Amino acid sequence: DNVTFILPLHINTIQNKDHFRKIELILKALTIVERKNLKVEIFGATEYTTAATLLAIINKVKAYCSGVGFRKPNSLEVSSALKRMGITHIGFHIDDLNLDNIDPNKAVEKLGEAAEQAQLGSFIYGVDNVAISALSIGAGIKFISGEAVGNPLETPWGSLPFAVESL
């Protein structure tokens, strides 16, 4: 069985040389097999984060993992440019939508369509109701987590690969 480990890293942590140096030492020590099982997810970007900044951050981490995810700011449009930069999967946390008063139903559908068009994997975290879970399946979201998916004490971190049978 394959196991995937997700390492969330805040954009400011990666940009700070002192903080990232400590993390990089640990990442450099990983074996090839461990790197194949690791995905880094960048979060904390804003609508003001430039493409050049994002590219520099992706380049810092992509050698240490099998994929780089990006928890996008709500205003960011998903495009194939993200894939060309080295992003392999994109998504958001439901709480991010609540902060900006964005309709989660529309956001889920939009993410699913955009990720498919850009040929990126997709994820949604913090799903707390079955309706959003079902909508995520219909929208083609590849991975979701949250209380509606599973109790964190019964499944690791309440996360499952997404399939209709998982509901």
More confidently predicted of 112 and 159: 112
Q: What is the pLDDT of residues 25-81, one digit of tens each?
A: 999 999 999 999 999 999 999 888 898 999 999 999 999 999 999 998 876 778 888
3: pLDDT confidence band, cut at 50, 70 and 90? confident
In Å, what is the CA distance from 118 to each residue of 19, 83, 150, 156?
A: 32, 7, 29, 29
In angstroms, the CA 60 to CA 50 distance is: 16
Q: What is the pLDDT of residues 7-26, one digit of tens each?
A: 999 999 999 999 999 999 99
